[in-house]
Amino acid sequence: MELWQALVLGAVEGFTEFLPISSTAHLILAARVLRLPSSEFLKSFEVAIQFGAILSVVLIYFRTFLRNWAANRKVAVAFLPTALIGALLYPLIKRYLLDNAAVSLAALFLGGILLIIFESIHREKPEAHDDIPSLSYAKAAGVGFFQTLAVIPGVSRAAATILGGLLLGMKRKTIVEFSFLLAVPTMAAATGLDLVRSASQFSIGDVHLLIAGFAAAFVVARWSILFLLRYIQNHDFTAFGWYRIALAVVFWALM
């Protein structure tokens, strides 16, 4: 892998991680476009650069993490289902799914259709929940169970949690911010687990690639988070659904 390729993958990770379009699928497809051969190093690199995206959330919401322990408890409860499923299915996910373009494209396509259908029928109720600290533990766990669907590349962790929260009666801005907060323990655990098990894949000569990917993911993710917070003030996620469908169709035609 060249330095510029590491920067591109980091930027792709940062831009897509918090949008309902699947960062994993985009990294898989980006690696194909860059003609990077599938390898254990590439899989671990794509996981490791998530730390950059995690840091962007921590810096934006550091006051919440430091002071709002009621919100932190709800995030912890929502994280538990993913932690359990992820630990049980880690070998299967990494061996058979993380570089499977066909699975990613199918999930992108079907997820795009689901987004469009959902937004066409969903109407936010006046009594929708608009406060994370007072969110019930049952609803927090429910969002966590929706997040477990994202173990399938292409589903999108953001899409699964956001749609799950909307179905459970949360306001759009509230579930989007909850999705940001939930990303921190989820991605930190996934990245830490992978690095512990795959440390041998990296050498001293790879450090500059990891730093480049991390930095690009951090810078672009911060912009992406702020963009989404502004976007949802006047838009729903229908456009992201059409984007997912178009991306899947284009890559199917090229494969």
Residue 93: pLDDT band (50, 70, 90) is: low
Q: Over the stretch 135-187, which tens digit does the pLDDT of each residue have?
A: 999 999 999 999 988 888 888 889 999 999 999 999 999 999 999 999 999 88
Name the pTM for this structure: 0.88
Q: Average pLDDT of 205-233? A: 91
CB distance 19 to 241 below 8 Å? no
Residue 251: pLDDT band (50, 70, 90) is: confident
Max CA pair span of the chain? 56
Q: Please report, for the chain, the start and end positions of each structural domain, with discontinuous segments joined by +.
A: 3-254
Q: How far apart are CA 3 and CA 186, in angstroms?
A: 27
* 2 against 193, higher pLDDT: 2
Give the 3-state DSSP-derived string for 161-179, with helices as H, strands as E and coil as C.
HHHHHHHCCECHHHHHHHH
Q: Over the stretch 5-16, which tens digit does the pLDDT of each residue have?
A: 999 999 999 999
- Sign for the CA dihedral angle at 3, 249, 244, 150 comes to negative
Q: How far apart are CA 113 and CA 164, in angstroms?
A: 16
Residue 97: pLDDT band (50, 70, 90) is: low
Instruction: Give the pLDDT of residue 98.
Output: 62
CB distance 109 to 255 below 8 Å? no
Spatial CB neighbours of 206, under 8 Å, sequence gap ≥ 6:
41, 45
